Amino acid sequence: MGTYNFSAGPGVLPNEVITKIKNDLAAEENSNYSILEISHRSPRFENIIKHAEAQLRDLMAIPDDYAVLFIQGGGSLQFEMLPLNFANQTGQVAVLDSGNFANKAAKAANAVGKKGVIVASSREEKYRYLPELPHDFQSSDYDYLHITTNNTIEGSTYHQSNLPKTNGHLVADMSSNILAEPYDVTKFSAIFAGAQKNLGPAGVTVAIVKKDWLAEQKIENVGPMMRYQTYVDKDSMYNTPPVFSIYALGLVLDWVKDQGGVDQMYVNNQKKAAKLYDYLDQSDFYQVPVQGTDRSITNVVFTTGDADLDKKISQDADVAGLHHLAGHRSVGGFRASLYNAQPMAAVDTLIDFLKKAAKEN
């Protein structure tokens, strides 16, 4: 039986990508010239970063009036950069509080001296469903509306079909479902995603920003590293970028394209998730708190309803080679992350294990 990595991130990457990295390093051994040692000003790296951008543009159909930027600091730094760059007229950011990371984004807006306003929340009900925009929501009261498309911890998703409708600017944290399902980029004024779930190893964050929105901002007392315009002006190389992370991200994008692109990923991910949800739903032993179209296809969250039993079964799973199945420490239960690189065999093995656990416990 294989070993499977259900980590929510950093998570599983395609074997083909790991092999390619290993082979590249081997080929370059003793040359003083591996991918880990090249200047970011070298033609080789310039090709790598341009290729990564071109592949992402192609995979997501990103129009030319959006910039594609590579930044360090993860989603958490984006929670600070976004209000610093874009909350300049009303100074207010509307947040749909659909999970832990949306909540953090609202707090980060406050921390940088703007106002993060939670306009709807399912926090009191443990984020079991997606909050909707209130009927009296006035987009003009806010500089933008921040959403988390996929709630990694809670296992829920604003899919393209149930995105909130706003007349204002929509900003999306797609960290845990970028390239896992299709989104229409033109519905958003900014999108960002930490790489370490569906794009590559940790260490780089992608930001997709509408250029004309950025151009109209008047920003004060924000340093160059915290301004998106710096990354636009300098092709993400104002200072040394995370060379290896961008190289690995490019390889993952190549892999996604080779597999058939986002549409094919979506087909695969739906199949994987449906198989697991179908098993869980017919089981008397396990429950899924999130219902219907709110459910995530990248992070499947479930529980036996008994915290101690959940913990024991997660530990048994670990021994059986099914790793990182425990839910986030803030919610407990189980979480099976089914990112693009997760094979159907992982789901089959997991279901077999869960059946056995249901009988034995």
Please give the annotated binding residues for pyridoxal 5'-phosphate, written as ranges: 75-76, 101, 152, 173, 196, 239-240
Which residues make up each annotated binding site? 41, 75-76, 101, 152, 173, 196, 239-240
Question: Could you tell me the two tokens for 231?
Answer: 């990354």
Residue 77 has phi, psi (to 5 degrees) of -75, -30
Residues numbered 44 to 103 that lie near a second copy (CB under 8 A) are 72-77, 79-80
Using the 8-state DSSP alphabet, how is residue 327 labeled? P
- For a second copy, the binding residue among 245, 298, 304, 349 (CB under 8 A) is 245
The reply on whether position 332 binds a second copy by CB under 8 A is: no
Smallest gap from residue 20 Cβ to a second copy (A): 10
Q: What is the 3-state secondary structure (H, E, C) of 264-311?
A: HHHHHHHHHHHHHHHHHHHCCCCECCCCHHHECCCEEEEECCCHHHHH
> C-alpha angle 59/48/259, rounded to 5°?
35
C-beta of 111: minimal distance to a second copy in Å? Answer: 4
Tell me if 315 contacts a second copy by CB under 8 A. Answer: no
Which of the ranges 22-30, 59-67, 132-140, 164-172 carries the binding residues for a second copy, by CB under 8 A?
22-30
Q: Is 331 in the site for a second copy (CB under 8 A)?
A: no
Site string for a second copy, 136-175 (x = CB under 8 A): ----------------------------------------
DSSP-derived letter for residue 163 is P
Of the candidate spans 33-41, 156-164, 263-271, 286-294, the one that interacts with a second copy by CB under 8 A turns out to be 33-41
Asked if 261 is part of the footprint of a second copy (rule: CB under 8 A), the reply reads: no
Cβ neighbours for 219, distance < 8 A, ≥ 6 positions apart = 84, 85, 88, 227
Nearer Cβ to a second copy, position 19 or 167?
19
Rounded-to-integer distance, Cα 273 and Cα 350, Å: 12
> Strands 170-173, 144-148: parallel, antiparallel or unpaired by DSSP?
parallel
Q: Between residues 130 and 322, which has the closer beta carbon with respect to a second copy? A: 322
State which of positions 185-214 bind a second copy (CB under 8 A). 194, 196, 200-204
CA distance 145 to 289: 26
Tokens of 96: 């749909």
**One of 238, 254, 332, 352 touching a second copy (CB under 8 A):** 238
Does residue 330 bind a second copy (CB under 8 A)? no
List Cβ<8 Å contacts ≥24 apart for 286-293: 286/334, 286/354, 286/358, 288/155, 289/126, 289/128, 289/155, 290/128, 290/129, 290/154, 290/155, 290/156, 291/128, 291/129, 293/159, 293/161, 293/162
CA distance 308 to 323: 18
Concatenating the DSSP letter of every residue in 57-117 gives HHHHT--TTEEEEEESSHHHHHHHHHHHHH--SS-EEEEEE-SHHHHHHHHHHHHTTSEEE
- Torsional sign, CA 285, 290, 296, 299: negative
- Should residue 237 be labelled a site residue for a second copy when binding is judged by CB under 8 A? no
Q: How many residues bind a second copy (CB under 8 A)?
A: 69
Which of 63, 91, 113, 305 forms a contact with a second copy (CB under 8 A)? 113
Residue 34 interacts with a second copy (CB under 8 A)? yes
Among 22, 126, 355, 356, binds a second copy (CB under 8 A): 22
Is 248 an interacting residue with respect to a second copy (CB under 8 A)?
yes
CB of 311 to a second copy, least distance (A): 15
Is residue 116 within the footprint of a second copy (CB under 8 A)? no
Which residues would be at the binding site for a second copy (CB under 8 A)?
2-5, 7-13, 15, 18-19, 21-22, 25-26, 28-34, 36-40, 42, 72-77, 79-80, 108, 111-113, 194, 196, 200-204, 220-226, 238-245, 248, 323-324, 346
